[in-house]
Structure formats: C-alpha cells, structure tokens
Amino acid sequence: MLSWGRLSTVIRHWQTYCIIPPPTQIHQTLSLGLKKQEAGSDGESIGNCPFSQRLFMILWLKGVVFNVTTVDLKRKPADLQNLAPGTHPPFITFNGEVKTDVNKIEEFLEDVLSPPKFTKLSARHPESNTAGMDIFAKFSAFIKNSKPNANEGLERGLLKTLQKLDEYLRSPLPDEIDHNSIEDVKISTRKFLDGDNMTLADCNLLPKLHIVKVVTKKYRGFDIPKDMTGIWQYLQNAYTHEEFTNTCPSDKEIEIAYQDVAKRLIK
C-alpha cells in the first residue's frame, strides 16, 4: 500500500509537480506545473510527445483538478535538476523514489488515484491493451526510411497493423453480443477500444495514432484508407472528447517535431 506524501511528476514537454493530499482531501486540488521542452515552436503551446499526453489524459479522465504553468525546458530550472538528477523526462518521484518507465508511472497513477474517489481506467478485456501495439513501430520505420525501393514494403507493413486494429474496433466485444437474441451482431457500435468510455489502453494508443495520421499525410502523402471505418470512427470519437483534444498538440506542432525525423526518399 502506497503511503501518502509528495508526488512530483516531470513529463516530457511538461514539468509536473503533483502534491497528493491525504485520502480525505484528495478530491480537492492536485497542483501541477507544465514544462515545455523543445516542442511548442512559440515557446508556450503544448509540444509533441505521446508519452506526455498519455499521462495527462489519465489525470484528466481520473477527474483530477490541476493547474498548469509553462516553462521553457531549454532554460532548465534548478528545481527540475534537483528532482531527479541525470534523469530524462517523463518521470515521477514519490517519497524519494524515482519512476522513469511510462508503463510503471501509469500503474502508479492507477493505484494511487483509485476508487471510490477516482475512476478505474484499466480495460476489462485484455485484448484492448494490445490492440494497435505494433502501429507506432511500423510507422517509425516507414517515416524514417530514405530508400525508395523499401518504401512500398514498409507501407504495406504499416497498413497491415492498421488493418488489424480496424478489425478489432469493428468486431463486437463479448458484452455487445446478446446470446439470447436471434440477431447476429456483426459490427461493434462502441466508441473506444474497450467500450464507450476511454481506458488506459486509449490513453496509450490515441496520441500515437493521431501522430501517425498527421505525419504520414504531411511527409508521405499517405492517408489511412477510408474503408478502415473502425479507425476513422475511433479517431472522430476521440476528437469530440476534451480529455484528448485539450491535451493534444496542434497538427502544426506535430509536423514541426517530425520535420527532421521524416526522411526524404532519395532516388
């Protein structure tokens, strides 16, 4: 059982100081400071980092009230260095212990910010946690490639992983199927990976999937096929939820972040 104390979170592009009150007060205010690193080109706006957005979405979905102030990471303040010397964000320090693995940070937040005061965000279906897990790796290989003769194969690899995700999103979950009904449910009507509400699985996948959509269009002229209706509906559902839109960088910031990463195809 975690003891209550000072929780300091530093998220890439954002520096986050979280003071967790005792359980009797935890419904009140969680104070955060947002630190910007290299991303917002204007020095103020949210920069591109899917790992940071993942953690912010978790806090938002948990219903945590927080205040945000921006700081330019290029002029790294001393207090950031003192929190976890030699450690690169994102990380969390809690009672002197430093957590640098984003998955471990997610587990920590799910454990500390738990019911009944906070919403449980873990997925009910294990398959939801792995849906789309290979997409970002295939995207990275595709966008970083500079060899024209390899481009087609890498694009096929990306399409294959996108197709697998689309099939999962369109396939009904077990609780969508009424075994007492004579009607056969063939297409899922759920909004997100694990149902009609966002879970930890969505916090992980959606920021990456949005980056894939924006960057491949900008630097490869690639569009997610329109017949992948499961993916497109999934993205549209995310775009109507403030937990995603208010933590997401602008498309321009994402494009800027990848302008030196995306390789031109050299003939």
What CA–CA distance (Å, rounded) separates 21 from 231? 39
In this predicted structure, the answer to whether residue 164 has a pLDDT above a threshold of 80 is yes
| 37 located within any domain | yes
**In this predicted structure, which of 47-61, 114-128, 160-174, 210-224 has the lowest mean pLDDT?**
47-61
Verify that 20 and 85 share a domain, yes or no. Answer: yes
Check whether 161 has a pLDDT greater than 80: yes
Q: Is 258 helix (H, G, I), strand (E, B) or coil?
A: coil
Share of the chain above pLDDT 70, in %: 69
244 and 133 in a common domain: yes
In this structure, is residue 47 part of a structural domain? yes
Q: With 70 as the cut, is the pLDDT of residue 3 above it?
A: no
140 shares its domain with 180: yes
Q: What is the pLDDT of residues 93-149, one digit of tens each?
A: 666 677 778 898 899 889 988 999 899 999 999 999 999 999 999 999 999 999 999
> Where is pLDDT greater, at 179 or 256?
256
CA distance 75 to 120: 37
CA distance 254 to 240: 19
Percent of the chain with pLDDT over 90: 53
pLDDT confidence tier of residue 242, bands split at 50, 70 and 90: very high
In this structure, the answer to whether residues 34 and 143 fall within a common structural domain is no
- For residue 93, the domain's CATH number is 3.40.30.10
Looking at the structure, tell me whether residues 102 and 131 fall in a common domain: no
Q: What is the CATH number of the domain that holds 207?
A: 1.20.1050.10
| DSSP assignments along 184-245, one per residue | ---S---SBTTBSS--HHHHHHHHHHHHHHHHHHHHH-----TT-HHHHHHHHHHHT-HHHH
Within a domain: 170: yes
127-142 pLDDT, tens digit each: 999 999 999 999 999 9
Say if residue 93 is in the same domain as residue 17.
yes
Per-residue pLDDT, averaged over 54-81, amounts to 72
Residue 121, domain member (yes or no): no
Whole-number pLDDT of residue 197: 98
Q: How far apart are CA 5 and CA 99, in angstroms?
A: 15
Q: Does residue 118 lie within any of the structural domains?
A: no
Q: What angle do CA 234, 239, 241 make, to 5 degrees?
A: 100
Task: Using alpha carbons, select from 102, 113, 7, 95 the residue that is nearest to residue 59.
Answer: 113
Please check whether residues 74 and 137 belong to one and the same domain: no
pLDDT of residue 32: 37
The pTM (predicted TM-score) of the whole model is 0.83
For residues 107 and 139, state if they share a domain.
Answer: no
Half-sphere exposure of 95 (CA within 13 A, CB side): 6
Residue 189: give the domain boundaries. 126-257
Q: In the chain, how many domains are there?
A: 2
Q: Considering the domain boundaries, does residue 145 fall inside one?
A: yes
108 and 85 share one domain:
yes
Whether cis (ω within 30° of 0) applies to the bond prior to 90 is: yes
| 92 vs 167: which has the higher pLDDT | 167
Query: Does residue 132 share a domain with residue 104?
Result: no
In a shared domain, residues 50 and 101: yes
Q: What is the residue-averaged pLDDT of the chain? A: 81
Nearest CA among 56, 178, 190 for reference residue 123: 190
Rounded CA separation 107/105 (Å): 5
Q: Is residue 263 part of a domain?
A: no
Asked whether residue 189 falls in the same domain as residue 161, the answer is yes
Distance separating alpha carbons of residues 13 and 85, to the nearest angstrom? 17
Reported confidence tier of residue 182, pLDDT bands at 50, 70, 90: low
What would the pLDDT profile of 8-23 be if each residue is shown by its tens digit?
444 444 344 443 333 3
Residue 266 in any domain: the answer is no
